[in-house]
Amino acid sequence: EVKPYLQLDKMIEGMMWSAEKLHGLKFEAVPAGEVSVWHPDVRVFQVLKSADNSHVGLFYLDPYARAGKRSGAWMNDHRPQEAFKSVISPIISNNSNFMKASEGEANLIGWDDANTLFHEFGHGLHGLLSKVQYPSLAGTSVRRDFVELPSQLNEHWLFAPEILNQFARHYKTNEPIPEKLLAKIVAAKNADQGFSTVEYLASAIYDMSAHTRPVAEAADPKFEKERMKSLGLPKEIEMRHRPTHFQHIYCTEGYASAYYSYLWADALTADAAEAFTEQGSMYHEETARKLRECILQVGNSIDPAVAYRNFRGRDADPQAVMRKRGFAPPK
């Protein structure tokens, strides 16, 4: 029901339009053959400042699934921005695994896919807009519980009327997505939020608990059951991942004792989005400037708590995420 209105090329056009509207960036396609790519499906864009056409960086877009490509969607920072010994512009890529349509057919994607597209582009903008001295502090080189703020926040612009009215159009009739269908999508946002939030929190609390106990104690099969019982976890809900395949916290150190990061980022995201809605528009110019200068440009050169206060004028309101997830009445 939704897919006919979500053409991949139109969604890409929409997310780039949004970046120009918010941050004054324009994306100009680089003709095939002018720069090297790792696969013919990869598209390259020169990113320029709309105000003066000055160069910002290069953006590579690798949207389609193929044999040998890893699954999922991600952003790569191939060359971080820096201004140390010389000014070096960033080279960023967004990578995903959409199915490529047959010749002459429209590439249609689902709503979750469109959301992922905007999410990864948020990471991309974080890299492109970086304005720091040292490459080790640039773009997404921030603390684990802060890196998802720009990406999760960028998802909100998919819901903006300016995007949906212009770019979510039927691939055959060019009609915009119907209001009734859009209302159903919005209403479904908070479906099963109680279940998914508790399920996630159980995993996050287990992660913290396991990494603050001796290894032998945390490895005991009884530990998980006893910890869940102590939380009062309903028997109908189990942890999202069993400990033996909880890759986030055991296969690498990235999320060890930090699995909570996604929910904390959502708390920041919800509050940051309200900074725009409080002004009556997701394209409020002054709020976008503050987001850019206080969050997106500073990388890890400023403590993230200070960076967020500089943007919002205060700490994040934890009730914002409760409102976003439907647990508290809207403002």
Hey, which residues are catalytic here?
120
**Cβ distance 120 to 75 under 8 Å?**
yes
Please, where are the H alpha helices in 102-189? 111-128, 148-154, 161-167, 179-188
Tokens 């009884």: give the residue. 222
CA separation for the pair 55, 25 (Å, rounded): 10
Q: What is the DSSP string of 74-124?
A: EEEEEE--EESSSEE--EEEEEEEEPPPPTTS--B--HHHHHHHHHHHHHH
CA separation for the pair 285, 273 (Å, rounded): 14
Answer left, alpha or beta for residue 96, where phi above 0 means left and psi between -120 and 50 means alpha: beta
**Cβ distance 267 to 328 under 8 Å?**
no
- CA dihedral (141, 144, 149, 152) in degrees, to 10, reads 110
Contacts of 40 (CB under 8 A, 6+ apart): none
User: What SS3 state is found at 25?
Assistant: strand
